[in-house]
Structure 1
Amino acid sequence: MSLDFIGKYNSWERVDPAELFSATTEKKEATPKLRMPEFLASEAVGCDYLVLWLDCDKEGENICFEVLAAVQSSMSRPPPDRQTIFRARFSAITDRDIRAAMSSLVEPDENAARSVDARQELDLRVGCAFTRFQTRLFQGKYGDLDSTLISYGPCQTPTLGFCVERHDQIQSFQPEQYWKLALTCDLDGGQQIDFEWARVRCFDKEVASMFLNQIKDIKSTVVDSVVSKEKTKARPQALNTVELMRVASSGLNMSPHYAMQIAERLYTQGYISYPRTETTQYPENFDLLGAVRQQRDSAVWGEQVRALLEAGLRLPRRGVDAGDHPPITPMRLASRHALDDDSWRIYDYVVRHFIATVHRDCSYLSTTVTVRLGGQQFTATGTRLLDAGFTELMDWLAVGRAEPLPQLAPADLLNVSAVALTDHYTSPPGYLTEAELITLMEKHGIGTDASIPVHINNIGLRNYVTVETGRRLVPTTLGNTLVHGYQKIDPDLVLPTMRSAVEQQLNLIALGKADFHSVLTHTLNIFKQKFHFFVKNISYMDQLFEDSFSPLASSGKPLSRCGRCRRYMRLVESRPQRLHCQQCGHTLALPADGLVRVYNESKCPLDEFELVVWSGGKKGRSFVLCPYCYNHPPFPDMGKGSGCNSCSHPSCRHGVSQTGVSACSCCERGVLTLDPSSAPRWKLVCNRCDVVVSAFDQASLVAVMPDVCEQCGAYLVRVEYRPEKSRLPNRAAQLTGCAFCTAGLTQLVQLKHAQRSGGRPRGGQRGRGRGGGPDQPRRDKMAELAAFFM
């Protein structure tokens, strides 16, 4: 289920965003066509008991009660008899886990479910209120904004804030010069060793030069100390979602959102376990040996796996059991040719990571040689690999790539071949990578393993950031302007601490330590006050937008008249193109691509806005539209973004009642309508799909008549030609008949038959068709619509 406002609050124009903090909400089916509640209710008929097997997290607990609401009226022993409702808690789909859960059933946790309800309601009310207000204000005022929706989200906005904070650090960074001493020594046999200065660097050139003068004439030195230590690089913990997303972004050059789509596909195909988990510790009864044995016949890593099985598995490192799902592991062997390239790369990493968790640690010898020159200490470090361990499979993590140092002992004599003072500059930090952003979000509690990739993807879709080389997130002008505006008005709106505080309150609900209504009311009141403060002080953000974007008042060219003030609206041709009325302050969206021109100064009979013609798209499609009706459909059967040929107004000569010819043969509810703007190359276009039919080329007039063809049910048309251009039989000046049945007209139409269901809809309904008394339903519908308008 999903939470939404009831219908009357969905109009952006008529509803003050402040009302959304107290507006009535309702739960709706997230995917209505599945009819899931109805299906569950039918399954529950005659049942005595309900055992709920959902994810062992708060969201899973919430779904428990959604299921309960769907089935309780169908059960033989319905609630409130609580002895019929049970909850199974499990974290792995194994025989042992399932039996253990079934033998220790508990009651569903209503507190945990209510905490999810509170989060959903908070996110809906807060996000929609801020989003509607700032979108209406700025999209209606500035012409070169690239985003159609300027959204705010309690998690999305702090995510953007991290990116802008790093951008600000880069922009404000002042490089500083520093100096380093570099020492090179020769050994017998021609070998050289480069030593690094123990002081690392010096920001005062005079001091650095003084050190150089102290040692530049020294020609030899002796080894002060040689220290060798055996070190290990620990094998990784079991793989969870956050780590998979980090590696996919930094190592595989995939966005977290895309990587999770691939992982979910691999899961449904049975190649890996469920990929959304916070757990990094294998269950005690997990069959590690069996899972590793599945991989021993691989053509890629089979040799390493067989050697590991022969040597014996190591116990995995202890991690965190979040209680939701087991870590991500391979479930069966896959060959390279069985998967597409990106799926193989994700699968390859999951398998290598899993085997690495039961492999040996990587061990290596690190040697540090120290020398002194004129009182200054210099060091050189080398490594030598002892046991590659798990890095045999995860070779990108291998150590010991640096060449080992030659064998040296204390008091060995070295010849100084070069001493130099080099200058350098401090460099700014790089833009945040997706992997770094994921780490910050996890640290501050912004989002969950399921929602983190969604928030990162959203700030890209909203054009707040762009992804550049190395998957670095660079804020756009819009992203920077928004965050700086929030910081000027109320920094809490963009700081991660606000979300963290809310999560703490929600956790108290889940633990039964706080009342649902009290927390929800208190938190909503805080955000409501912040919203009113934001609205009152929006001029601070508006000033930033004025500096960054062009006002609509000075953008575009005059095109058509506004139905309210009768002044010309300007056509803003940036994407998406829009009409903006400077006098009234409203902005009306138009089709994204194609050309828009004024249409012979005709006006909409409903709102007095001048009609325009849009042309473009496939097959030279075009249609007449009212700019206001296109954004605010006047009838329930007219979808948003529809032209006049979908309008059921009875007296408008551009509506479907006057221009419809026949039901479309290519879509379910479409109507072939005459496009009056297409003359003299007349066209019939479907008002729902992309069907375009050329007809009556070079005719001076084409009109749809009220009568219906007795053969096919299509409405008749009258076609008139000038005598010198006539294409009618015997060069007649005009002919009335069916475009699909009448001889003399059919050869002038590309489509040779009408949809047999007949007629065109009148006021949103299909015609009666052949033999059904075509005039009567039309008169009835027109009378019904006329009564509606009166």
Structure 2
Amino acid sequence: MAPPVVVLMVAEKPSLAKSIAEFLSNGQMSSRHTNLDVHEWNGTFRGRPARFKMTSVIGHVLSIDFPAEYQSWDKVDPATLFDAPTIKTEANPKARVCRHLQEEAKDCDCLVLWLDCDREGENICFEVVDNTVKWMNRAGAEQQVFRARFSAISAPEIRQAMAGLGAPNRAEALAVDARQELDLKVGVAFTRFQSRFFQSKYGNLDSSVISYGPCQTPTLNFCVERHQAIACFQPEPFWVVRPRAAKAGTTLDLEWGRGRVFDAEVGAVFQRLVSEAKQLRVVDVVEKEERKGRPAGLNTVELLKAASSSLGIGPAYAMQVAERLYTQGYLSYPRTESTAYPPNFDVHEPLLAQRAHPIWGEYAASRVGNFIMPKGGEDRGDHPPITPVRCATEAELGGGDAWRLYDFVARHFLGSLSPDCVYRKTRASFSAGPESFSAGGTQVLRPGFTAIMPWKAVQNEPLPPLRSGETVPISEVELHQGKTSPPDYITEAELIGLMEKHGIGTDASISVHINNIVERN
């Protein structure tokens, strides 16, 4: 009888390795600790008896740098760095990850890569390959390296990934190599150049290094431009005519057709004309049924924007929380550019899981077999939109930011499968002498997705009954004085949107760049 095949499996983090090993071994594993944990069990691999060893790395195994002869700031012209060679060195020498992989690879026949399924993960795949395959048993013509692809840490997803192993993508890994080399060369060359230039020009700078980052610097420029716009702003007084009128006990919130004027005397003339009219005449009333569309699937950028603007959680910390919820099996992979669920995505499983939730379980049950896929969105072919994987309560997650982020993701997921919000919008036009005014009102007809996402709700503020030709008495006419105000300082959510718009960074790095800017300023 042939000896069992020995399969080495590598995940991106120790916690992921443990969860994957528990699912695949049905909890029947033994564990030992060397540099990093190793979990072992017996099973079958591609129809053959097998002994499995599951371990991990801790992010990138290797990092890129210049050789020693290019490290001197004084002797090396920054311009020559663009043509300089680069080398890969161990990213975390103290952890001795390379040695750990090489030791565990000995006597192994196959390698299964369980790295995160994005470009960075694909790049780490080949870093692992470089530190394992040469130490493994020779495979001959048979495939020796396999790639597992998954989007959530759940038993069905992991078992499905194990049943459908493929090969790592060399092109995606090389794309990361190219990006790393560009970041290194551009960042180091410009940092050395501008540090030397400004130190020689001014000499009294409070920093010996003035760093340049290909993503960080243009992102910082958005903040600088906004600050300059605020600093240079000159406020200008304006005047608005505001008649006060009510119908059926409801005060009309009126907008002046001219908006505002920038001359007090002109404003006073219009105020007098409206006062002399003494009443508003209804010129027209238009009613229209409108829809507020349900959201598309949730991607990383939208998650970070919502965390910053609505939950008060900074982008970098929000990603830490989301990744922890992912590794614990509560959320799907939180780094994705897709906002459309792919055709083969099964929404039933996460919907069914949410039926037991004490807060929105009844709502989730109403969507099972009755869901509506969101309109628009884009499937970027990386990962599906972010969804809850299993049901969790506030107590189970320990409350705090973890619960608030999970609550948002779960409600967004349910909202994306719900009907649109339908409401009636009314617009009434008025005249008072030669001046025109308008007022608007809304009445919710069917709340749709806003029932589970109340922060998106349309305000139910209907106008009182009005008909064309009737008049409404004016009780007072105010000439309100205000002044123009500068733009607000840029928010993290706004900054994330600008980075996405201008293609700065990736869903994996946006939070890091913003955090660097916040910490250094």
| Structure 1: gaps spanning 5 or more residues | 466-790
Please tell me whether the aligned partners of residues 182 and 194 of structure 1 are also in contact (alpha carbons under 8 angstroms). Answer: no
Quote the Cα distance in structure 2 between the aligned partners of 1:139 and 1:262. 40
Which residue among 69, 88, 93 is the counterpart of 1:27? 88
Offset, 1:87: 6.7
Offset, 1:344: 1.3
Deviations 1:156-184 (A, max 9, x none): 10011010011111122222333222222
Which residue among 262, 267, 270 is the counterpart of 1:211? 270
3-state SS of paired residue (2:298): coil
Please tell me whether the aligned partners of residues 371 and 377 of structure 1 are also in contact (alpha carbons under 8 angstroms). Answer: yes
Which residue among 131, 139, 159 is the counterpart of 2:191? 131
Offset, 1:351: 1.2
What does 1:728-747 align with in structure 2 at a 5 Å threshold?
none
Which residue among 302, 307, 310 is the counterpart of 1:251? 310
What does 1:466-477 align with in structure 2 at a 5 Å threshold?
none
Please tell me whether the aligned partners of residues 178 and 424 of structure 1 are also in contact (alpha carbons under 8 angstroms). Answer: yes
What is aligned with 1:356?
415
Matched, 1:301 2:354: no
Offset, 1:426: 1.7
Matched, 1:121 2:121: no
Larger Rg: 1 or 2?
1
1:372 maps to amino acid = S
Residues 72 and 397 (structure 1 numbering): CA distance in 2 closer, same or farther, change over 3 Å? same
What is aligned with 1:449?
507
Which residue among 181, 185, 192 is the counterpart of 2:241? 181
3-state SS of paired residue (1:216): helix
Which residue among 467, 482, 491 is the counterpart of 1:409? 467
What is aligned with 2:333?
274
Residues 266 and 49 (structure 1 numbering): CA distance in 2 closer, same or farther, change over 3 Å? closer
Quote the Cα distance in structure 2 between the aligned partners of 1:386 and 1:314. 19
1:119 maps to amino acid = R
Residues 106 and 450 (structure 1 numbering): CA distance in 2 closer, same or farther, change over 3 Å? closer
Which residue among 97, 103, 128 is the counterpart of 1:67? 128
Matched, 1:4 2:65: yes
1:290 maps to amino acid = E
What does 1:520-535 align with in structure 2 at a 5 Å threshold?
none
Residues 96 and 280 (structure 1 numbering): CA distance in 2 closer, same or farther, change over 3 Å? farther
1:338 maps to amino acid = E
3-state SS of paired residue (2:472): strand
Which residue among 378, 388, 412 is the counterpart of 2:447? 388
Please tell me whether the aligned partners of residues 338 and 380 of structure 2 are also in contact (alpha carbons under 8 angstroms). Answer: yes
Residues 4 and 364 (structure 1 numbering): CA distance in 2 closer, same or farther, change over 3 Å? same
What is aligned with 2:217?
157
Structure 1 stretch 134-143 or stretch 30-39: which is displaced more?
134-143
What is aligned with 2:485?
427
What is aligned with 2:36?
none
3-state SS of paired residue (2:276): coil
Offset, 1:414: 1.5
Please tell me whether the aligned partners of residues 247 and 435 of structure 1 are also in contact (alpha carbons under 8 angstroms). Answer: yes
Which residue among 108, 118, 129 is the counterpart of 2:169? 108
Residues 445 and 181 (structure 1 numbering): CA distance in 2 closer, same or farther, change over 3 Å? same
Quote the Cα distance in structure 1 between the aligned partners of 2:408 and 2:163. 32
Please tell me whether the aligned partners of residues 278 and 432 of structure 2 are also in contact (alpha carbons under 8 angstroms). Answer: no
Please tell me whether the aligned partners of residues 299 and 337 of structure 2 are also in contact (alpha carbons under 8 angstroms). Answer: yes
Please tell me whether the aligned partners of residues 228 and 365 of structure 1 are also in contact (alpha carbons under 8 angstroms). Answer: yes
Deviations 1:429-466 (A, max 9, x none): 111100000000011111001111111111223x3x3x
Quote the Cα distance in structure 1 between the aligned partners of 2:316 and 2:168. 35
Quote the Cα distance in structure 1 between the aligned partners of 2:497 and 2:290. 27
Quote the Cα distance in structure 2 between the aligned partners of 1:191 and 1:84. 76
Quote the Cα distance in structure 1 between the aligned partners of 2:241 and 2:185. 60
Residues 108 and 51 (structure 1 numbering): CA distance in 2 closer, same or farther, change over 3 Å? farther
Quote the Cα distance in structure 1 between the aligned partners of 2:151 and 2:178. 28
Residues 74 and 289 (structure 1 numbering): CA distance in 2 closer, same or farther, change over 3 Å? same
Which residue among 200, 203, 206 is the counterpart of 2:259? 200
Please tell me whether the aligned partners of residues 122 and 168 of structure 2 are also in contact (alpha carbons under 8 angstroms). Answer: no
Please tell me whether the aligned partners of residues 151 and 332 of structure 2 are also in contact (alpha carbons under 8 angstroms). Answer: no
What is aligned with 2:377?
319
Please tell me whether the aligned partners of residues 56 and 323 of structure 1 are also in contact (alpha carbons under 8 angstroms). Answer: no
Please tell me whether the aligned partners of residues 366 and 384 of structure 1 are also in contact (alpha carbons under 8 angstroms). Answer: yes
Offset, 1:289: 2.4
Offset, 1:251: 0.8
Quote the Cα distance in structure 2 between the aligned partners of 1:186 and 1:65. 72
Residues 16 and 180 (structure 1 numbering): CA distance in 2 closer, same or farther, change over 3 Å? same
Please tell me whether the aligned partners of residues 150 and 158 of structure 2 are also in contact (alpha carbons under 8 angstroms). Answer: no
Which residue among 311, 319, 322 is the counterpart of 1:260? 319
Which residue among 388, 391, 398 is the counterpart of 1:333? 391
Residues 167 and 107 (structure 1 numbering): CA distance in 2 closer, same or farther, change over 3 Å? closer
Please tell me whether the aligned partners of residues 109 and 144 of structure 2 are also in contact (alpha carbons under 8 angstroms). Answer: no
What is aligned with 1:787?
none
Quote the Cα distance in structure 2 between the aligned partners of 1:43 and 1:382. 69
Residues 22 and 194 (structure 1 numbering): CA distance in 2 closer, same or farther, change over 3 Å? closer
Residues 374 and 27 (structure 1 numbering): CA distance in 2 closer, same or farther, change over 3 Å? same
Please tell me whether the aligned partners of residues 239 and 482 of structure 2 are also in contact (alpha carbons under 8 angstroms). Answer: yes
Residues 218 and 439 (structure 1 numbering): CA distance in 2 closer, same or farther, change over 3 Å? same
1:441 maps to amino acid = M
| Structure 2: gaps spanning 5 or more residues | 1-61
Offset, 1:232: 1.5
What does 1:71-86 align with in structure 2 at a 5 Å threshold?
71-77=132-138, 84=143
Quote the Cα distance in structure 2 between the aligned partners of 1:387 and 1:266. 33
Quote the Cα distance in structure 2 between the aligned partners of 1:26 and 1:65. 15
Quote the Cα distance in structure 2 between the aligned partners of 1:275 and 1:92. 9
2:325 maps to amino acid = L
Quote the Cα distance in structure 1 between the aligned partners of 2:511 and 2:123. 22
Matched, 1:368 2:449: no
What does 1:595-674 align with in structure 2 at a 5 Å threshold?
none
Residues 360 and 65 (structure 1 numbering): CA distance in 2 closer, same or farther, change over 3 Å? same
Deviations 1:492-546 (A, max 9, x none): xxxxxxxxxxxxxxxxxxxxxxxxxxxxxxxxxxxxxxxxxxxxxxxxxxxxxxx
Offset, 1:139: 7.0
Offset, 1:51: 6.3
Identity over aligned residues, as a percent? Answer: 51
Offset, 1:40: 4.0
Offset, 1:39: 4.2
What is aligned with 1:618?
none
Higher relative contact order (CA 8 A, sep 6+): 2
Normalised by the length of structure 1, the TM-score is: 0.53
RMSD: 3.1
Residues 363 and 96 (structure 1 numbering): CA distance in 2 closer, same or farther, change over 3 Å? farther
Residues 452 and 380 (structure 1 numbering): CA distance in 2 closer, same or farther, change over 3 Å? same
1:296 maps to amino acid = R
Quote the Cα distance in structure 2 between the aligned partners of 1:167 and 1:118. 34
Deviations 1:204-229 (A, max 9, x none): 44544443343321123432211112
Offset, 1:100: 8.6
What does 1:551-590 align with in structure 2 at a 5 Å threshold?
none
Matched, 1:168 2:228: yes
Structure 1 stretch 353-362 or stretch 152-161: which is displaced more?
353-362
Offset, 1:250: 0.6
1:425 maps to amino acid = K
1:316 maps to amino acid = P
Structure 1 stretch 342-351 or stretch 206-215: which is displaced more?
206-215
Deviations 1:669-702 (A, max 9, x none): xxxxxxxxxxxxxxxxxxxxxxxxxxxxxxxxxx
Please tell me whether the aligned partners of residues 148 and 162 of structure 2 are also in contact (alpha carbons under 8 angstroms). Answer: no
Residues 278 and 130 (structure 1 numbering): CA distance in 2 closer, same or farther, change over 3 Å? same
Offset, 1:372: 1.5
